[in-house]
Structure 1
Amino acid sequence: MSQSSPLKAFLGKGWAFPIQPNQTDKTIAYAEGAEKVRQSIWMILQTEPKERIMRPNFGCGLRRYLMQPNNSATWAGIQRDIERALSRWEPRIKLEEVNVNGGDDPSVAMISIQYSHVQDGSRENLVFPFYLE
């Protein structure tokens, strides 16, 4: 899908996550547009509050669920924390739905996030496997 330049400008451009060299010229790789938003969501999910010195409230705090049972109570807590974190830290999206369920592996909670970009309404989804053990 080709994005117009105003949409790409709104969605942003920055270092790709994880930070890695660009394979063609060995500079830092960049991501832009919808991929940058996707990487930002991934970063929010993987960051713990107080992990960033200059922004101590940033992140989702999913590590508090490590070693918890893979059941509906744990899934509800994960869902609540994701909804709060993404609503607070990712203004480029409208969060439509967060689902957390058990996966085939009993130690994995499967997180499914549906969202749309506020600029043009295009819908995206992200699946994030979270290992409880």
Structure 2
Amino acid sequence: MPYLRFPFGPDERGRSRGADDATHVRDMIEQVLFTVPGERVNRPDFGCGLLQLVFAPNSDTLAAAVQMSVQGALQQWLGERIAVEAVNVSSRDAVLQVEVQYVLRQGQQRRLARFTRDLP
């Protein structure tokens, strides 16, 4: 396994957890979604600012803006690895849920990744 898992941590043997290619891509999607632009020192434009938009008043316009922001960030940062087919973002009872349907460019495998975060 040539990649490290995100978040970094030990496996059952006490070594760094590894990831195959498909798991690594899923981990990268999670990093793009939940990294606030400006958070990374050498990549200040990395991320999509999803967590910042959660507290805005809920509306169809906001939902469309969030979807476009997420899709644009995934295309910018992972466009060589995946083709994003759909993004669904919802917030209920202080929990943010994001579903991303995508196709791995290598092997043309369709995937669905679900991510949840408790909101502060």
Q: Normalization by structure 2: what TM-score? A: 0.84
Deviation at 1:101, TM superposition (A): 4.0
Structure 1 residue 127 corresponds to structure 2 residue 114: yes
Aligned to 2:26: 38
**Residue in structure 1 matching 2:104, options 117, 123, 128:** 117
Deviation at 1:31, TM superposition (A): 1.1
Correspondences of 1:72-83 after superposition (within 5 Å): 72-83=60-71
Once the two structures are superposed, what CA deviation does each residue of 1:67-110 show, in whole Å capped at 9, x if it has no partner?
223332322121111111100111210111112345xx344453
Aligned to 1:17: 6
Indicate conservation of the 8 Å contact 1:44/1:85, yes or no. yes
Q: Which moved more, 1:70-79 or 1:85-94?
A: 70-79
Structure 1 residue 95 corresponds to structure 2 residue 84: yes
Aligned pairs, number: 119
Unmatched segments (≥5 aa) in structure 1:
1-11
Unmatched segments (≥5 aa) in structure 2:
none
Indicate conservation of the 8 Å contact 1:110/1:127, yes or no. yes
Q: Label 1:54 to 1:89 Cα distance change in 2 as closer, same or farther (>3 A).
A: same
In structure 2, distance between residues paired with 1:78 and 1:13: 33
Q: Label 1:51 to 1:82 Cα distance change in 2 as closer, same or farther (>3 A).
A: same
Indicate conservation of the 8 Å contact 2:3/2:21, yes or no. no
Q: Normalization by structure 1: what TM-score? A: 0.77
Q: Label 1:21 to 1:15 Cα distance change in 2 as closer, same or farther (>3 A).
A: same
Q: Superposition RMSD on alpha carbons, in Å?
A: 2.1
